[in-house]
Chains A and B, each alone.
Chain A
Amino acid sequence: MMVRLTIDGRQIMVDGHVNVLDAASKLGIHIPTFCHQARLSDLGACRMCLVEVEGMGKLQTACTLAVNDGMVVRTDTPRVEKARRMMLEFLLINHPLECTVCDASGECTLQDLAFKHGSAETRFKGKKRILRDHIISPLIDRNLNRCIQCKRCVRVCEEIQGVTALGMSYRGAATVVGPFMDKSLDCEYCSHCIWSCPVGAITSRAMKHKVRTWEMEKSEAICPYCSCGCTLSYNYRDNVVYRVTHAEGRGLNMGSLCSKGFFGYDVINHPDRITAPMVRDADGVLRRTTWQSALEEVARNMKRISRESGGKAVGGIASDRLTNEDLYLFQKLMRMVFSSNNVDTPSGLWSRTVVPVLEKRMGVRAATNSLDDLNYTDALLIVGCDITVANPISGLKVKQAIRRGGLVTEVNPGKTALSRLARRSLAVPVGKELALVKGLIKVILEEGLYDSETLGKYGKFSELEFSVRDKSLKEIARETDCSVDEITQTAREFAGAKKASIIFGETAVLQAGGEKVLEAVIDLLVLTGKLGQEGCGLYPILSGTNFQGALDMGVSPNWLPGHAAVSSDSERKRVEKAWNGKVPKDGGKSAYEMIQAAAAGKLKALYLAGVNPLATFPGGEDLEKALKKMEFLVVQELFLTDTAKLADVVLPATSLAEKNGTLTNVERRVQKTSKAIDGLGHSLPDWKIFSDLGVACGEEGMNYLNSSEVMDEIASVVPFYSGINHQILADNGLQWPFSRDDAREVYHEGYLGTRHLLPEGLSKDKQFFAAVPVWETHSADSKYPMTLVLGDLLFHSGSFTRYSESLNQLAAQATLLMNPQTGMGLDVQDGSSVRAVSTQGEFTVTVSYSEDIAPGMLFLPRHFKNAPVSALMIPGPDDQARTAIVHVRVVKA
């Protein structure tokens, strides 16, 4: 309902749910406030927004006052002005006037409002209240004396982050904000408290006293650290990024960031960045050189080996952290210039496991729905994924759904940050996820909870029924460590919900037989009719920043740009025509296969762009031997990594903050990211290096002026990218597919592109039900009875963030997490050293007891040097190298 009200003599029509503060702002009337923030619950505590309302005796707080038809409000009377001045005077009684050394100076609401309304003289005599103060964490500083008790930090921590790490203690003028019992901060370091503080009470230690706020310029970009694709703002001066700030209301994250996005920027201007090309000289030493000589060296050797030993002897692996433009040119370079389909990314393994199933079953190759849908989901099933780590901001959306009453069930071998909030958290052992999902299907079939339309649309369920017949719910419950009731309730909630989705992650897929879980999950979605509509769909979530883009760009041994099969003559021809060049006919090798081929002496030249196999690939020492054996190794990197130290040529690339381009996030959203600072030293954007190298190889078709030109070519080669360019993406990301015709049209409530795939449901040629006959994906070898889950920590993503000093303060070492029960069974104490042994190898690591890990399971963060998980993982082709789960034996060191 719309209502008409008058504010300062001007009339306005607004929605009846709006408060007076927001109504006034629509008229351009700024009512000052400290405690109000749109995303937070109303508080009405700071009393700064008091206004006069006709017919109401007392002044009213505009932030809590709902508009009424005919309401007459005044914000400009002497009474209002006097109240405002009074509030400021009250707040300044105890607020220290140390703006000269305060990091918030220049963007402090109290400073600004005092400047505008306050009196220059203070009438308060005597000593200010001085509160005991101390640092509460390595990265977040609290200054209690500056605090104005607006409670924004407390509310954002509880209402948005769902952590409740901050609260108010004591009362009256002695009220302080702090962690429970005033201990050190135990939280996710999401930075929301820093963002929400209107004064300098909560600040980042990472930029303390380094720079003044007004000296920096700001530039929006896409966060480099995961596939969520959040918008952030780099703040820089003199080509140095001094901090990241939250881009209020912008992007799919609406400004929210996680610890990596907020604190991880110190990687950019890290002193160890490589700033010039290096070529190994006759003495075997890497020496700085010019771009020209370095590129000539690469061109000569790559071309020579390709010519002499064939394209199959050449390979390239690129990081999924690169932009679409980088990745597109990378595979074009490898295919067209070096005649090789040996192109891959580390996340290719995921794509080759997940995408064929998605394609076969649903005809899609990505998440069907939008991340935004997660906010409003009624029931959500999360299988084998810690969404709060893999995609922290998607995790926030799930938390919002929970606050709205959404029923979330987690199926994970350990507890996550969601477990405390979710409806239930089922600690299902690895390998038994399939049994759990089949159990849900069984309940739905037996209780007739399936979608009645499904029956008509997709035929009979007899096969599906048969596939779940041979085990009783009781048996399923026993095997999955759940109760019959938990399985039954989960099934009923999921089937009964209007909007129900499934998130599906690495732990479930990247284990031997993982695709069977995905098959069963799709059966469940089809059976319950939770497909093809807003709020109903499937989210396969991998954390790799641009894993979807890498697939879309054809950084894959079997797929060309646009998911076109290399084996298809017509598709190859189409691409060849666009490129005016040749694409080799035979499919290439995956990343791990390339390493094996290198070990066998079959792969002679390897081009690594942003990839550090020694930190992340399976193989341990064999891997290092294989890399050393290379005739020619090129590493294009930001840092001289262990792998780069082995290279013949090292090319300095820029970080995402130093280049323009696009990234495609986990929900198919193509977003433009913009350069904040110039490339450090002589470093160049990856696309530029590939382009220059192509030209150095004599290929004029590789000559591009800028990344925008590359995108124009992508749009002409990748059918579902058709119609987009950097200009269209300037302000808003778009979810593919889009076509040239409708890209400018508003598709749905201001969204361009496609929010939901499969609006018509599954097409007739699809396999509606896989009816997986078995109950477990794989079983462990009795010699290696423990299941080790390899994953990320909230504070790190991949090996890249290890260069962040800030994030290292939160977590710098890997420890092997195990349940105390498991530890006691093994006679292993908390803090003691153990050897973890797999079929492949072993290493020694320190144990940490954690109740969050299910008994019998182990968890180890990847990518830490002190725990080289590479030694444990099985190298080889896709069906063997499942990198999320390793079966091990643990013995006392």
Chain B
Amino acid sequence: MSELKILTRNVSRPNPAHIDSYLVNEGYVALPRALNEMTPEEVIDEVKIARLRGRGGAGFPAGMKWDFASRDRRKPKYIICNADEGEPGTFKDRVLIENDPHAILEGMALAGYAAGAEKGFIYIRGEYPQGARILERAIAEATSRSFLGDNILNSGFNFSVTVHRGAGAYVCGEETALIESLEGKRGQSRIRPPFPVNVGYSNLPTVVNNVETLASVPPIILRGGAWYASIGTPECPGTKLYSVSGHVARPGVYELPMGVTLRELIFDNAGGMREGRTFKAAFPGGASSACLDESQLDVKLDFNSLAVAGSMLGSGAVIVLDDTADMVKATHVLIKFFEHESCGKCTPCREGLFWVRRILDQILEGSASEQDLDLLLEICEGIRSTSFCGLGEASVSCVESTIKKFRGEYLAYLRNSGSGEAETEAAS
């Protein structure tokens, strides 16, 4: 399966972020069409027909989210574009932010029109300073041409957008933590329900959509939901941006119809494995997904198929490891990330990850025993089943899946416990 450029249609154009480049290629055509010819309900219906599912990781139907928000009678309402792209291995939103910011803004304006919001925020991770500048310039451009601001294109619809830079917390990619942070508070998840669509920013109805989700909206309005739904798989229509990283020949962002297999992605698009190396494992949905092994190369990379395979699509961050990889060390790296990023709110994530990392330290140091592996799994189960938010829940997938699929590598460390040679043995 080869690339199908819908979201990335403008990426290779000269000066792609400029509004004129965007306008050349049917930019800001969907917005006036919606404002002039469609009711907000019709816009929502079109997105429902497209069966567009949220690209941030949860895969929740975007049309339904907008519908819930539009039905809430409280005002004002807000649209938040989640550009806090923090999942290790994910860099696809950055491509859109830096190369096609107007697609995001047009998508936000359409979402605002559909849901009845007049204010939008782009919450962009602090590590994307250039992206923030590009977005701010794009907002100024769009406002000066009446695609944003008051009375857009004389339609009577007002919509303005503000860029807010995050301060470097992974958890702020979780929508309620993002909202807390946007409100100036400590970035920690809120109790759900109520959900942001009803009680979000300033406790008012708020739609939080991922960058990629919003950028998908203008083409859907332009060509119709049915067209969009015909791409990809029936349950997961459309194209998906896959961030491919790790031991492949050509890492990068690839736009492919949903349902492409791992094998097709790596070998038909990303140039296959590094010279002379063979595939060992892949984390298909970033650091928080369970790894797939060689036997799973033909799993389709969509929400449903990956769930069946015991993993998840997440943000489509495919981290590929070849035969040189030490799975225990790789897991240790990932757990150190989650331990560092745990916000500290709930007990299992805060204390449990500290413990898990300690045991992995001990395994690598050669001071652990085989019982510790069972303890590790028990702790992971505890963290996964009792954590407050998705961060804790998903944080231990790497440990559980690598122990399940690569138990031998752990055992190699344990067998050499105390010999001081564990590292050399396992790495060879």
Q: Which residues of A contact B (CB under 8 A)?
A: 42-48, 50, 58-59, 64, 83, 86-87, 90-91, 93-94, 123-126, 129, 148-149, 167-168, 170-175
Contact = CB atoms under 8 A, between A and B. Distances in A.
Nearest to B343: A171
Contacts of A173: 339, 342, 344, 350-351, 353-354
A125 B417 CA distance: 15
Contact of A170 (B344, B346, B348, B358): B344
A172 B353 contact: yes
Contacts of B24: none
A45 B385 contact: no
A19 to B, nearest CB: 11
A172 B388 contact: no
A168 B345 CA distance: 10
Nearest to B384: A58
Given A93-B355, A94-B351, A149-B350, A174 B344 contact: yes
Q: Give the most central of A42, A47, A149, A170: most B CB within 10 Å.
A: A47
B71 to A, nearest CB: 21
Given A173-B350, A173-B353, A47 B344 contact: no
25 contacts: A45-B346, A45-B347, A47-B347, A47-B348, A47-B386, A47-B388, A50-B386, A83-B386, A87-B386, A90-B352, A124-B355, A126-B361, A126-B362, A148-B347, A149-B347, A149-B350, A168-B186, A171-B342, A171-B343, A172-B341, A172-B353, A173-B344, A173-B354, A174-B344, A175-B343
B347 A46 contact: yes
Interface in B355-389: 355, 358, 361-362, 375, 379, 382, 385-388
B186 to A, nearest CB: 6
Q: Give the most central of B340, B345, B351, B385: most A CB within 10 Å.
A: B351
B78 to A, nearest CB: 21
A16 to B, nearest CB: 15
A811 B183 CA distance: 37
Nearest to B371: A123
A650 B191 CA distance: 63
Contacts of A149: 344-345, 347, 350
Given A46-B346, A47-B347, A94-B351, 12 more contacts: A47-B348, A48-B347, A50-B386, A58-B385, A64-B191, A91-B347, A93-B355, A126-B358, A171-B343, A171-B344, A172-B340, A172-B354
A82 to B, nearest CB: 8
Interface string B321-341: 000000000000000000111
A94 B354 contact: yes
A174 B342 CA distance: 10
Top 3 A-B pairs, shortest CB-CB distance:
A175-B344, A90-B351, A172-B342
Contacts of A44: 191, 346, 388
Contacts of A86: 348, 379, 382, 386
Contacts of A42: 191
A148 B343 CA distance: 14
A47 B355 CA distance: 17
Q: Main SS of chain B's interface residues?
A: helix
Contacts of A45: 345-347, 388
Given A44-B191, A87-B348, A168-B186, A125 B385 contact: no
Contacts of A175: 343-344, 350
Given A45-B388, A123-B375, A172 B347 contact: no
B197 interface: no
Contacts of A124: 355, 358
A833 B98 CA distance: 63
A64 B375 CA distance: 30
Contacts of B387: 47
Contacts of A43: 191, 345
Interface string B379-404: 10010011110000000000000000
Nearest to A127: B358
A59 B344 contact: no
B273 interface: no
Contacts of B343: 171-172, 175
A65 to B, nearest CB: 9
B124 interface: no
Contacts of B109: none
Contacts of B345: 43, 45, 149
Contacts of A46: 346-347
Nearest to B351: A90
B385 A59 contact: yes
A83 B350 contact: no
B199 interface: no
Contacts of B361: 126
A125 B388 CA distance: 26
B253 interface: no
A50 B382 CA distance: 12
B169 interface: yes
A91 B351 contact: yes
B348 A172 contact: no
Interface string B181-192: 000001000010
A87 B348 CA distance: 7
Contacts of A50: 386
A768 to B, nearest CB: 43
Contact of A172 (B344, B358, B375): B344
Nearest to B372: A125
B415 to A, nearest CB: 19
Nearest to B338: A172
B386 A59 contact: yes
B397 to A, nearest CB: 16
A375 to B, nearest CB: 21
A237 to B, nearest CB: 35
A91 B349 CA distance: 11
A42 B194 CA distance: 13
Contacts of B358: 124-126
A134 B247 CA distance: 48
Interface in B175-207: 186, 191
A47 B346 CA distance: 7
Given A64-B191, A83-B382, A86-B382, A129 B354 contact: yes
Contact of B362 (A83, A93, A125, A171): A125
Nearest to B186: A168
A127 to B, nearest CB: 9
A47 B392 CA distance: 12
Nearest to B357: A173
A59 B343 CA distance: 21
A867 B388 CA distance: 56
A167 B387 CA distance: 22
Nearest to B359: A125
A269 B382 CA distance: 51
A703 B52 CA distance: 89
A879 to B, nearest CB: 53
A170 B361 CA distance: 22
Contacts of A123: 375
A244 B427 CA distance: 63
Q: Give the most central of A50, A129, A167, A172: most B CB within 10 Å.
A: A172
B23 to A, nearest CB: 43
Q: Give the most central of A87, A90, A91, A93: most B CB within 10 Å.
A: A90
Contacts of A129: 354
Nearest to A64: B191
Interface in B33-86: none
Contacts of A148: 347
Contacts of B351: 90-91, 93-94, 173
Given A90-B355, A126-B358, A172 B339 contact: yes
A48 to B, nearest CB: 7
A43 B343 CA distance: 14
Contacts of B386: 47, 50, 59, 83, 86-87
A657 B345 CA distance: 42
A763 to B, nearest CB: 46
A874 to B, nearest CB: 51
Contacts of B355: 90, 93, 124
